[in-house]
Structures are given as structure tokens and as C-alpha cells.
Structure 1
Amino acid sequence: MATIDKVLAAIDADLDASLARLFELVRIPSVSTDPAHDADCRRAAQWVVDQLAGLGFEASARDTGGQPMVVAHGGAARGPGVPHVLFYGHYDVQPADPLDLWETPPFEPRLVETATGRQIVGRGASDDKGQFMTFVEACRAWISATGNLPIAVTVLIEGEEESGSRSLGPFLEAHKDELRADLALVCDTGMWNRETPAITTMLRGLLLEEVIVTAASRDLHSGMFGGPARNPIRVLARIIADLHDETGRIQVPDFYDGVSELDEDVRRQWQELGFDAGGFLADVGLSIPAGEAGRSVLEQIWSRPTCDVNGIIGGYTGEGTKTVIPSRASAKISFRLVGDQDPLRIRESFRGFVRDRIPADCSVEFIGHGASPALTVDMSRPEFARCAEALAAEFGRPAVMMGCGGSIPIVGDFKRTLGMESVLIGFGLDDDRVHSPNEKYELSSYHHGTRAWARVIGALAGSV
């Protein structure tokens, strides 16, 4: 029996025990954004340390200014001709709210039978506990079947990805000699569909801004002050309405600097994917594309910049009514960036755009919540072809080279700080309901994902 066949057989035989381990991790409510769950985050970090140490890794939880970082080193001894990879994932999860929309408690994972197969349901099942555990379980199978990994592996599992990764940049800078490898492997991405694997080659950048408009010195009675008193909600609403024109084009000055048209060869490849735009929107109860006019849905998601209002707060929002003119109103706004757009220049241009629309008797305050540029992965390295071949061997069809509408700032950090390219391979699906109630991860994604990582490890080693 070939080595890889022994490894894959070990994965298949251990699937039930592997699921039990994943369920243990999902039961830990490691919500990084909520200080009430700080102890749970530490518990999740230690759980990961214990798992990796049990596989023979030199593993530890490193303190930071926020949640702990898990760092582990294992596999083949480093040296000439021995590939060395850095694998990245995160153990923290989004809050489970709103709890009343969960069919069962979010941190009590379960297997559910559906028309498309069995699903693992629970907060973090897909994002990112199920995803990074596919790699850990692939390592376990290699060690079980052969005694060791055929490549050198460093594992970095952070605990603040869902709350802005505040500690990650400084941690990378402080430990860059320890963490630097030949290649980074990132699992926080998805497949093209249930049957087709993918390697993500394009990531949009991200700019997060909070705008606070203040008018009167206190909340006012709308009967006594309605009319002459400025309402900051109206001021903010008008600014938000001005952000786009009737064609969906963003009106912030110089916003499109650095945005280039899609290469025709790439456009043709995307058209050949047969993306079902109608079905994509229908899955979330929509039917009419609302982005830039004249752009396909796939183009809007992968290669065009966006501006979205993520939340508006102002006045009375409780039960019933309260006739009040609020003193303050605020909005949280995110920009997805592409190409060579400079997030810091756009921040200043956006803030100028807002200031120009603030009446004389109002003031405005801005809070920045992070900024990162877009990224295109260099696919010319031979490791990418080996990874694609490994995925094709597992799924029986070629891997799609796809863009991603989301942002993974760590990929840029790896390139800038550690000088490494990243291969982005994940097994999530668009309908996994990440960040939403009833988050799930297909059992097929978990099982085939584990097997695929085992093949990738072997392919990078040149042993299969």
C-alpha cells in the first residue's frame, strides 16, 4: 500500500474519534470580542496546545495584549531540501447572538441529517474550528500511519481573528525569525461548490470606519424642539445616501484610484465557471443585483470595491415609542478594496467627504477600526501546482482558482513581515451560515478536507 493510501485509510478509520475531538472544541464558547469569555478563549487555546503536544509538537500558548497565540513546531527536522510550512487558523468565534434564532444551543454541537448530507451544526463549526482541525487531523493521520510528518510544520492559531487581530501584527514582528517558513497555508476560505475544491488567489482589502454625528447638547422632546432643532439622524442619513449614485458607483473623491479593469483572460475563465447569479441571490431571499450597474455578480464580489453601511444607531430603539430628537447618531461603515487602492488615502478622502456635509451647528467624530490593502497571490511558485494536483486527486476534478469577496489581512502580514506567499485552501461553503445563527459545516467538507490536507502535505514533501 502506498504511503498516502495508508494515511487516508487512517483518516477514514478515525473519523468518529476526529469528530468527537472537534465537538469538544466547539463546546468551548471562545468569543474573543466579549471580555466575559476571556477564560473560555484561554481554555480553547490550551485545548489546541494539548492536542498538538499529544501529536509530538513542541506547543505552547503565548500571552499577548489580548487573547493567547498558540504556536507549535513539529514534523520533519528542518534542513536543506525539507519543505517548511506555517499553517494558520483561529480558535476564536463570533458571538452567538441572536440566541432565539438558533434551533439548538450554539455551543452544543450536533450532527444533522439533511437532503445534501450530514452537517455539523454549532458556532465555530465552519469558522474556523472545523476548518483548522482538518489540518490538525491530517497531521494526526500522517503521524499515526508513518510515525512522523514528511515536512517541517509550524502551527499558528490565533484567538482574535473575529475581533480585529489586534495582537497579531506585533506578535508576528516580535517572533518573525521563529515563524518564518517557506510557505504559509491558510484554511479560512471555501470551495467553489460541494464537489469542487478551490484555491483562493485574490482577496479584497478592508477599511472600517465609525462616524458619530452630534447636534444638540442633549436629547430633545420632539414636540417642543421638532422643526428648529437639527436631527443628527437626518444629517447622517443624507450623508449615507450621498455615498452612491444611481448606478451604484461610490462617490468618495478619488475612491477608484488604483482600481483596474479585469483582465479579459480572467473574465473569460470566470464566465466559464457557470456561476448561478440568480441562485446565489435566491438563497438569501433576494433576486435583483444591487451593485454597480453593468458588472456581473461574480465581478462585483471578487474584483470590484464596495462601500456598505453595517449598522446605524441613534435615538430610541426600544419597545414602543419615545418622541425624542437624539443628540447623537452613528454609523459603522466598511469598504472592501481591490487592486492598488490605498486604504489610508481612502480613509482621509471619506472623512473629508463626510465633513463637507456636516452642518455648522453639528460636529463629527471618526473612529477607525482597521485598514488593510487588497492582495493577489503569486501563483507562479511550483508549490501552488502541487497543491492544486493534490486537491484534484481528492475531489476528482480540477481546483478552481477563485477570488474572494472577503478579507484575510493575515495573508498580507505574512507577505510583508515574514516574506512568505500563502496558499489559501479551505472547505467551507457559501451556505455555511458563518457569523449567523445555526452555523454549520458539511461533514463531507470536514472529511474530504482532512484527506485533502493529507494529500497536500505529501505533495509538498514530494512523496506522493
Structure 2
Amino acid sequence: MSVDAVLARIDQDLDKSLERLFELLRIPSISTDPAYRDSCRAAADWLAAELTGLGFDASVRPTDGQPMVVAHYPSRDTANDGRVLFYGHYDVQPVDPLELWNTQPFEPAIVTRDDGSKMIVARGAADDKGQLMTFVEAARAWVAETGGLPVPVTILFEGEEESGSPSLAPFLNAHMDELKADAAFVCDTGMWDRQTPAISTSLRGLVTGELTITAADKDLHSGLFGGAARNPNHVLAKILSDLHDDQGRVQIPGFYDGVPEVPAEVKAAWDALDFSDEEFLGQVGLKKPAGEADRSALEQIWARPTAEVNGMIGGYTGAGFKTVIPAQASAKVSFRLVGSQDPAKIVDAFHAFVRERLPADCSVSFTSHGASPALSIPADSPVLQKGREALRAEWDVEPLMIGMGGSIPIVGAFRDKLGMDTLLMGFGLDDDRIHSPNEKYEKTSFHKGIRSWARMLGLLAN
């Protein structure tokens, strides 16, 4: 059957698709806050009910944390040649600071700009409810127009992506046979710009952790002990400042082992893109790239490793003033990895780097929050070529093959545990303000995202 009738159905039912998205956006499924545990369950129940209504064998699966939603079309008991797996997450980030929102974060609204373009504003609009619903609505259109899906599909929605996915690996280990498919789709990615779709062909790895420097056995009065007692804030600041040299290179020994140079032809293609460092940074009030001095901002994001300090705590941080020398000071640190950098070796090297800089009367402890390697998608992957064809047909431009500065550990898990390549095809934009107040998702991204997935399903049937 021609996909044209399915696309016409999507256009006809767009308002209803938006209504359903708004229902999901109204559920405050904040996974990291225990106060919202019931809301996370409500979001999972809502999705399972929607998928059941489309003919999926759908269920909510308990975990030690937030539940998973698993759905199969047709039932997993039938022959499943050519089955694909679609992954998304229904949980969202906290909304603070609430006073910076222009609308209520869980009361979705469509905002029209001066140029007439429209955006959906709500927490989770882009990350990831709007994105996952593009696939659900594409499936809905196929079922409504043809009575079924053109290929067997399994859907996995998790509820802890925004809080580190602690239940995901155990769940995959326990359900490997059920979740295996020929290929996986992940929509938690973006476009190059409003007119140009993209497929992300590489992801940086991620190492996260905390370190705590301890000196005295209690907080000290700075008038009585100042100058004589070691201050952990000073020690921590000095160690963290040593992470980079004046040119922005990370100074941990062996850090760049396994970091490849970008191939000349790939770098030439990136250089040909209409990308401005100043415009990219200008949208967040900055001007100059701050990483490795000899690399463009685009190369820094897509192809270079990083060492970042994500938070620092030490001493009195409340209102007013308290003259203490703290007994402890802590920092949250993360590393983005590329190429074949080994996460375990990075952790060990960082720990050694810190210990070598500890002065007398100080000790350090470390807490790990997870580690995953970088990965890339083979250029000759058949599903990648189908994705390019679907995007080219829908957007009427050649889609870009780009790198991705973020990390999506599920992609590595799909490769290592289930033996599947993953197509990273989403419709977010850099200015969607994910994790920030006034998160938004373009109405065009939602509409054409649905149409793109509908085309993709049709191509997979061929």
C-alpha cells in the first residue's frame, strides 16, 4: 500500500495527536524525586493503555525503580522476522526554578511567535514525550488507515532516563530474548536546524562521579583556625583547576589514549556546514569556545573528550554569612569520552590525579555514578540508509550525518547485550531548552516527525 494515505491521515488527525500529547505532558513524571513516583506510574499506565488501544500487546513492568512499558505488535508469540525495537523515555527533569517559567510547566501550551511559527511549551515537550509520541502517532496512523503496522514492532519506554537509568541494565538482562530485534530506533536526538533533519552516527561516552576532600574532623571557626588549618575548599579548587592547561587540554595522564583524529573528509564536510561558533554560543549569552584552543566548537562537541565540573559544595552556603573553614568540600565531575577511550582507565587515572595532589592532613573519597564508552553507527548500516531515505522524502533535503555531544547509554546496551545497531533519528532543536525552564518542541518537529516515522515504517516493509 502507498504511504500517501497514511500521511494524509496524519495531517487530518494532527489536532487529535496534539491533544493526546498534551494529556501525557500534563502528567508530572519526574523520576528523580520520590514525591512523583505515583505520577511516573500514571505516565506508564497512560502509555500502555494507548498502545493497547492500537492493538499492541502492552504492559507495565515493575522494576526496583520506575516501571517499564513494553509493547509488541503483533504479539511476541507470532513470527517476528524483520522486527524493530523503538525506545523512548516518559520521565522528565525537575522544573525548578519555577519562577523562570512563562507558563505552568505541566500545563502545555502552544505559543505562536511573531513570524507565525508555533511551539509546544511544557516540561517534557522535547525530552522526550514529544519525541516518543511522534512514533506512537505514526503507528496510530498506519493502524487507522490500513488495519495494522507494516512491520513487527516492539516498544520499550523507560521511566528513569533522567535519573541515570539504574533499572535499565537489569531489565535488559532479564528480558533479552523478548526485546531482541533486527534494529533499534531512538528518537531522543535532534535536527541540524528547523529545515534540515539529521541522523546522529556517533555518541560520546560518559563517566560521572563525585569526590570529597576531608581535612579537620569538624567545621572550624576561621578566626581561631584561619591560616593554620587546611581548608578543603582551597584544596578542591586547586585540584580542579589543574584538570586543564591554558589551551584547554585535559592534563590527566593517558586521558587522550584512544582519541582518534577526525578523518579529513569528515572534517571537510563539517567545515562546509553553515556553523558559527559565535552564533552557537551566543544563544546562551557566550561568545568564545572555551575548550581545546585548536578545535572548533563543532569538533569539540562531536569528536573531542571533555572533563567538566558539574557542581561544587563546601562550607556554609545558606543566606547571610558564616565564617567557617569547612571540614569537607565536594565536587561532581563528569567526563565525555570519544573513540576507544576506556571508561575504567579514565576513572583510575582521575583518582590517581587527585591523590597525587592531596596535601598533608587531607583525605579523599570517591563515589561513582556510572560509566559507558563512546560508540558509532556503521556507515553501511542498512537501517541507516532507510532512515536517510525517509528523511529525504519528508523534508525534501539531504539529511546530515552528524556527531552527538551527549551520551545515550541505552544505545551501547542495545549493541552489547542485544546485538542491534541503533538508528538515532529525532526532531529536537538546539534551542528547545531541554532540562531548563520554558522547554519547548516545535509544532513542525512534532508533525513532520510523525510523518517521517510513518515513511520509515513503510520503507522497512520493503
TM-score range, shorter chain: over 0.9
Matches within 5 A, 1:18-417: 18-75=17-74, 79=79, 82-115=81-114, 117-417=117-417
> Separation in 2 of the partners of 1:232 and 1:74?
57
> Separation in 2 of the partners of 1:224 and 1:386?
71
Aligned residue identity for 2:18: L
Kept after mapping to 1: 8 A contact 2:203/2:375: yes
Q: How big is each residue's C-alpha offset from its partner over 1:313-337, in whole Å with a ceiling of 9 and x where there is no partner?
A: 1111111211111111100011000
Kept after mapping to 2: 8 A contact 1:204/1:404: yes
Aligned residue identity for 2:238: R
Report SS of the residue matched to 1:295: coil
Report SS of the residue matched to 1:184: strand
Cα displacement (A) at 1:3 = 2.5
> Separation in 2 of the partners of 1:158 and 1:279?
35
Report SS of the residue matched to 1:22: helix
> Separation in 2 of the partners of 1:3 and 1:393?
14
Aligned residue identity for 2:65: G
Q: How big is each residue's C-alpha offset from its partner over 1:114-156, in whole Å with a ceiling of 9 and x where there is no partner?
A: 1451110010000000000000000000000111000000000
Kept after mapping to 2: 8 A contact 1:102/1:437: yes
Report SS of the residue matched to 1:255: coil
Aligned residue identity for 1:205: G
> Separation in 2 of the partners of 1:165 and 1:75?
27
> Separation in 2 of the partners of 1:238 and 1:439?
36
- The 3 A distance-change label for structure 1 pair 387 and 226 is same
Cα displacement (A) at 1:383 = 2.1
Report SS of the residue matched to 1:236: helix
Kept after mapping to 2: 8 A contact 1:75/1:150: no
> Separation in 1 of the partners of 2:183 and 2:383?
8
Aligned partner of 1:423 in structure 2 is 423
Structure 1 range deviating more: 400-409 or 274-283: 274-283
Aligned residue identity for 1:318: G
Cα displacement (A) at 1:297 = 1.0
TM-score normalized with structure 1 length: 0.98
Report SS of the residue matched to 1:3: coil
Kept after mapping to 1: 8 A contact 2:160/2:166: yes
Q: How big is each residue's C-alpha offset from its partner over 1:225-254, in whole Å with a ceiling of 9 and x where there is no partner?
A: 111011100000000000000100001110
> Separation in 2 of the partners of 1:75 and 1:196?
34
Q: How big is each residue's C-alpha offset from its partner over 1:367-389, in whole Å with a ceiling of 9 and x where there is no partner?
A: 00010000011121222112101
Report SS of the residue matched to 2:344: helix
> Separation in 2 of the partners of 1:203 and 1:179?
22
> Separation in 2 of the partners of 1:274 and 1:79?
47
Aligned residue identity for 1:239: I
- The 3 A distance-change label for structure 1 pair 386 and 76 is farther
Q: How big is each residue's C-alpha offset from its partner over 1:271-321, in whole Å with a ceiling of 9 and x where there is no partner?
A: 122212221011111111111011111100000000110000111111121
> Separation in 1 of the partners of 2:384 and 2:241?
43
> Separation in 2 of the partners of 1:276 and 1:16?
36
Kept after mapping to 2: 8 A contact 1:314/1:328: yes
> Separation in 2 of the partners of 1:383 and 1:160?
27
Report SS of the residue matched to 1:103: coil
Aligned residue identity for 2:237: A
Aligned residue identity for 1:127: D
Which sections of structure 2, spanning at least 5 residues, go unmatched? none
Aligned residue identity for 2:10: I
> Separation in 1 of the partners of 2:327 and 2:107?
42
Cα displacement (A) at 1:76 = 9.0
> Separation in 2 of the partners of 1:30 and 1:327?
37
Cα displacement (A) at 1:391 = 0.4
Q: How big is each residue's C-alpha offset from its partner over 1:206-240, in whole Å with a ceiling of 9 and x where there is no partner?
A: 00010111111111111111110111000000000
Kept after mapping to 1: 8 A contact 2:57/2:74: no
Structure 1 range deviating more: 175-184 or 383-392: 383-392
TM-score normalized with structure 2 length: 0.98
Kept after mapping to 2: 8 A contact 1:76/1:149: no
Matches within 5 A, 1:416-455: 416-455=416-455
Cα displacement (A) at 1:75 = 4.5
Q: Which runs of 4+ in 1 moved over 6 A?
A: none
> Separation in 1 of the partners of 2:299 and 2:223?
49
Count of residues paired in the alignment: 460
Cα displacement (A) at 1:79 = 3.9
Kept after mapping to 1: 8 A contact 2:387/2:456: yes
Kept after mapping to 2: 8 A contact 1:96/1:436: yes
Report SS of the residue matched to 1:136: helix
Structure 1 range deviating more: 358-367 or 175-184: 358-367
Which sections of structure 1, spanning at least 5 residues, go unmatched? none
Q: Cα RMSD over matched residues?
A: 1.1
Report SS of the residue matched to 2:370: strand
> Separation in 1 of the partners of 2:454 and 2:74?
13
> Separation in 2 of the partners of 1:325 and 1:276?
45
Cα displacement (A) at 1:83 = 2.0
Cα displacement (A) at 1:64 = 0.7
> Separation in 2 of the partners of 1:145 and 1:3?
11
Aligned residue identity for 1:187: C
